[in-house]
């Protein structure tokens, strides 16, 4: 399993994407996967190493309130989360259109193979354009 390389400045939701503002509960990065915690508007890293880490809605952080040029996200920072739709990820992602992508065992990361608990998040349309569709599918191990 290989995690995709994310360059935060290239992460851009496209027309038709569904995003919503939430509050991050831990230090993170633009381009990382998150899950709804069920506590207000809070989100935490998605993590395929345990079943609770991939239950419910899974999204991707596409921007942060502080606009840190490195893409760093602070605890308590407001973040825009992509829940569904196309997102530009840039050349560094090196997406493979023949693969599906999944929540990784490395918290917050997205990988080209399933982790300990399988939770698909979508598939690329091109080598830089990804279609995020984690649906409400149950996680499987």
| 55 is a domain residue | yes
Range of the domain at 128: 8-132
Question: Residue 138: its pLDDT value, please?
Answer: 57
Is residue 43 within 8 A of residue 59, CB to CB? The reply is: yes
| 97 is a domain residue | yes
| 125 is a domain residue | yes
**Residues above pLDDT 70, as percent of the chain:** 96
Our count of domains for the chain comes to 1
pLDDT in tens, 15-63: 999 999 999 999 999 999 999 998 999 999 999 998 888 888 899 999 9
The SS3 assignment for 93 reads helix
| 138 is a domain residue | no
Residue 61, strand partner residues: 81
Using CA atoms, how far apart are residues 24 and 37, in angstroms rounded to an integer?
A: 10
Is residue 136 very low, low, confident or very high in pLDDT (cuts 50, 70, 90)?
Answer: low
Question: Residue 139: its pLDDT value, please?
Answer: 59
Report the pLDDT averaged over residues 128-133: 95
Question: Residue 137: its pLDDT value, please?
Answer: 57
| 1 is a domain residue | no
Locus of tokens 């851009």? 12
CA distances 121 to 56, 59, 78, 83, 95, Å, are 12, 8, 22, 10, 13
Is residue 102 within 8 A of residue 110, CB to CB? The reply is: yes
pTM above 0.75, yes or no: yes
Q: Is the pLDDT of residue 64 over 60?
A: yes
The pair of three-digit structure tokens given for residue 136, joined into one six-digit string:
């409400």
């Amino acid at each position: 399993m290989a995690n995709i390389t994310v360059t935060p400045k290239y992460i851009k939701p496209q027309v038709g994407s569904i995003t919503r503002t939430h509050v991050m509960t831990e230090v993170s990065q633009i381009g990382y996967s998150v899950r709804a915690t069920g506590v207000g508007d809070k989100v935490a890293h998605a993590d395929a190493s345990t079943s609770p880490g991939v239950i419910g809605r899974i999204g991707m952080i596409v921007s942060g309130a502080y606009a840190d040029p490195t893409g760093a996200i602070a605890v308590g920072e407001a973040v825009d989360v992509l829940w569904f739709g196309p997102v530009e990820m840039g050349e560094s992602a090196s997406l493979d259109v023949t693969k599906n992508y999944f929540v990784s065992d490395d918290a917050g990361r997205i990988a080209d193979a399933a982790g300990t608990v399988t939770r698909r998040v979508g598939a690329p349309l091109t080598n830089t354009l990804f279609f995020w569709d984690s649906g409400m599918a149950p996680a499987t191990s």
